[in-house]
């Protein structure tokens, strides 16, 4: 029974991460693998004062440093979660208690600090409320568990901090050695994202009852010691929410995943309703006099709870692919809750085996039927047949437009830029090099004035420059020097479908 239940999370994780098919090379791929590594490391700690704990804390610190340099917001969330978990089983002296309280308050406040004034309604405030209540409930449940004890010492904390600083310093030094300035590094990691908060802010697709449910879950965590029977029912509720999300994924998966903003697999309900219930996997399972679990394994649960509570914040400001990825930790916590429910049953192992085999069979049949339908749908599409994308298929109209655009750029230009949303694959398809190395996707919002002026200077000295225009669907900045330069010096030359190619105005 244990084998079947331990295998099931792999399937759940696969469903939650299907968004990566749309965005290969996304930095969240590194983040997810690193996050899982932290969860695994947390289950390997030893007795208080052991050298193994120093290695575990140092490994977690190094992982946080890697996340900071890969995707700063995820690094901050994981860093706050890791420090909170370590301090909850850290030294119990005065400094330790003060640090525990300070980090607990900071972690609980982080969602509102991040989103701030963007949350102008209850609907928009639902995400920070859910995450804040989840952190507070975890803190309350962990502090009431006397069996957790003290596992980590200040020596281990120093190992965590030294590893974090060392990894961040090594990657920053490598970037500087490759020619990046300190100002450019700071802007690339933090400054360029400021415009995203206002331009691309979308309200997460959370259930309307998220805020109220989060408060109820927090209250249950605070009073669970008086009414222990509610723990079981909230644990069952967490499993039920996960089950609904998995079942919802099956019909959703029959619809082609055309855009990351399309919610599928119930990411919204998982974040809004299941995240506030994370504390239940920290609560005792079974009778009050049951044998206490190994504190070291309990720390693994504590770490995963803390990580999962703040990961949904990655959905800010755009709850697309980040929403699905951010719900992974909650979904895996739901699998732990399922194991807790199953092992309280008289025939838990046999029931768990039948449950997983039955669910896997239904999922297998549904996904085979889906893939047969996808194969039929794929046969109705046309090969794009461009360099680096010969196996990509799309509608005949889209394929014709993209092939026309690549050929037009290849024949009429020596390089080109994008007037709105950059589609850097076109440089491969047209077999042309960009004018500079400054090529972010949403460049009107990500490039500073000085960087746009560098592109303008590069275009001034190039012959055969083209501009690709396509509908963007959002207002563009009015103070962009590059947009002003393109509007003043280029004019429409050719068009096909949604694309226009502009060339330099005649003197």
* Same-domain pairing of 323 and 421: no
- Residue environment code for 340-374, b if the CB has 16+ CB neighbours within 10 A, otherwise e: bbbbeeeebeeebbebbeebeeebeebbeeeeeee
* Same-domain pairing of 186 and 280: yes
How does residue 146 score in pLDDT terms, banded at 50, 70 and 90? Answer: low
Query: 147 by DSSP, 3-state: which?
Result: coil
* Same-domain pairing of 281 and 317: yes
Residue 120: inside a domain, yes or no?
Answer: yes
Residue 374: inside a domain, yes or no?
Answer: no
* Same-domain pairing of 235 and 183: yes
Instruction: Count how many domains the chain has.
Output: 2
Rounded Cα gap, residues 459 and 101, in angstroms? 55
Rounded Cα gap, residues 457 and 306, in angstroms? 49
* Same-domain pairing of 329 and 402: no
Average pLDDT over residues 225-235: 88
Residue 381: inside a domain, yes or no?
Answer: no
Domain limit, last residue, from 308, 335, 369: 369
* Same-domain pairing of 365 and 425: no
Q: Does position 207 have pLDDT exceeding 80, yes or no? A: yes
Which one-letter DSSP state was computed for residue 294?
Answer: P
pLDDT at 12: 76
Q: What's the N-to-C CA distance of the chain in angstroms?
A: 78
Mean pLDDT of the chain: 86
Q: Does position 85 have pLDDT exceeding 50, yes or no? A: yes
* Same-domain pairing of 143 and 275: yes
Q: Does position 2 have pLDDT exceeding 60, yes or no? A: no
Predicted confidence (pLDDT) per residue in 463-486, tens digit: 999 999 998 777 788 889 999 999
Domain limit, last residue, from 309, 337, 369: 369
Q: Does position 292 have pLDDT exceeding 50, yes or no? A: no
Q: Tell me the residue range of the domain where 424 lies.
A: 393-504
How does residue 453 score in pLDDT terms, banded at 50, 70 and 90? Answer: very high
Length of the chain equals: 507
List Cα–Cα distances, 291 to 143, 243, 286, in angstroms: 19, 29, 9
Average pLDDT over residues 24-49: 89
Residue with the bigger pLDDT between 12 and 493: it is: 493
Contacts with 391 (C-beta within 8 Å, 6 or more apart), sequence order: 383
Domain limit, last residue, from 335, 369, 403: 369
Cα-flanking dihedrals φ and ψ of residue 46, to 5°?
A: -115, -155
* Same-domain pairing of 308 and 453: no
* Same-domain pairing of 15 and 53: yes
Q: Does position 147 have pLDDT exceeding 80, yes or no? A: no
Residue 383: inside a domain, yes or no?
Answer: no
Q: For residue 443, which of 456, 432, 430 has the smallest C-alpha distance?
A: 456
Place of tokens 């959905």: 315
Q: For residue 202, which of 129, 145, 127, 101 has the smallest C-alpha distance?
A: 127
pLDDT at 143: 87
Residue 208: inside a domain, yes or no?
Answer: yes
* Same-domain pairing of 242 and 331: yes
Average pLDDT over residues 28-33: 91
Residue 377: inside a domain, yes or no?
Answer: no
Residues 504, 412 contacting (CB under 8 angstroms): no
Tell me the whole-structure pTM to 2 decimals.
0.84
List Cα–Cα distances, 279 to 83, 149, 220, 272, in angstroms: 17, 18, 10, 14
Write the DSSP assignment of 381-431 as a string of letters. Answer: SEE---TT-TT-EE-HHHHHHHHHHHHHHHHH-SEEEESSS--THHHHHHT
Q: For residue 45, which of 139, 151, 189 has the smallest C-alpha distance?
A: 151
How does residue 304 score in pLDDT terms, banded at 50, 70 and 90? Answer: very high
| Pairing assessment for the beta strands 465-469 and 415-418 based on DSSP bridges | parallel
Rounded Cα gap, residues 112 and 127, in angstroms? 9
Residue 229: inside a domain, yes or no?
Answer: yes
* Same-domain pairing of 359 and 443: no
CB atoms inside a 10 Å sphere around CB 407: 14
Residue 425: inside a domain, yes or no?
Answer: yes
* Same-domain pairing of 248 and 345: yes
């Amino acid at each position: 029974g244990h084998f079947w239940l331990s295998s099931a999370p792999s399937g759940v994780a696969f469903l939650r991460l299907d968004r990566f098919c749309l965005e290969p090379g996304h930095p969240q791929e590194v983040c997810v693998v690193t996050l899982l590594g932290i969860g695994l490391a947390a289950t390997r700690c030893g007795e208080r004062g052991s050298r193994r704990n120093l290695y575990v804390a140092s490994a977690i610190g190094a992982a946080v440093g890697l996340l900071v340099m890969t995707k700063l917001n995820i690094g901050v969330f994981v860093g706050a979660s890791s420090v909170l978990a370590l301090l909850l089983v850290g030294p119990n002296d005065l400094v330790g208690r003060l640090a525990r309280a300070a980090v607990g308050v900071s972690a609980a406040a982080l969602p509102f600090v991040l989103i701030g004034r963007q949350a102008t309604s209850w609907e928009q405030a639902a995400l920070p409320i859910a995450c804040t209540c989840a952190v507070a409930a975890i803190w309350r449940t962990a502090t009431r568990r006397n069996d957790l004890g003290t596992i980590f010492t200040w020596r281990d904390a120093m190992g965590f901090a030294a590893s974090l600083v060392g990894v961040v310093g090594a990657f920053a030094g490598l970037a500087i050695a490759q020619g990046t300035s300190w100002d450019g590094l700071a802007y690339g990691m933090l400054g360029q994202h400021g415009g995203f908060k206002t331009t691309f802010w979308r309200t997460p697709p959370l259930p309307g009852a998220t805020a109220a449910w989060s408060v109820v879950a927090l209250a249950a965590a605070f009073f669970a010691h008086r009414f222990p029977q509610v723990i079981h029912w909230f644990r069952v509720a967490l499993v039920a929410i996960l089950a609904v999300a998995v079942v919802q994924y099956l019909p959703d998966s029959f619809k082609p995943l055309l855009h990351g903003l399309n919610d599928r697999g119930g990411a919204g309900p998982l974040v809004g309703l299941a995240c506030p219930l994370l504390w239940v996997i920290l609560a005792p399972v079974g009778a009050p006099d049951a044998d206490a679990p190994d504190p070291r394994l309990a720390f693994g649960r504590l770490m995963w709870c803390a990580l999962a509570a703040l990961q949904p914040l990655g959905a800010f400001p755009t709850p697309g692919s980040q929403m699905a990825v951010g719900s992974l930790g909650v979904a895996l916590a739901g699998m732990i809750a399922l194991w807790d429910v199953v092992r309280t049953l008289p025939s838990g192992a046999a029931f768990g085996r039948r449950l997983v085999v039955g669910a896997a069979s239904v999922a297998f049949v549904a996904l085979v039927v889906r893939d047969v339908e996808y194969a039929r749908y794929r046969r109705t599409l046309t090969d794009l047949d461009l360099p680096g994308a010969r196996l990509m298929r799309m509608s005949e109209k889209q394929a014709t437009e993209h092939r026309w655009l690549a050929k037009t750029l290849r024949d009429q230009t020596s390089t080109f830029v994008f007037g709105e949303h950059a589609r850097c694959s076109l440089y491969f398809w047209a077999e042309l090099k960009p004018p500079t190395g400054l090529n972010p996707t949403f460049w009107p919002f990500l490039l500073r004035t000085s960087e746009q002026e560098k592109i303008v200077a590069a275009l001034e000295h190039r012959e055969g420059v083209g501009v690709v225009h396509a509908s963007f669907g959002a207002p563009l900045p009015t103070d962009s020097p590059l947009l002003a330069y393109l509007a003043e010096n280029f004019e429409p030359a050719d068009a096909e479908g949604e694309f226009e190619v502009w060339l330099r105005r005649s003197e």
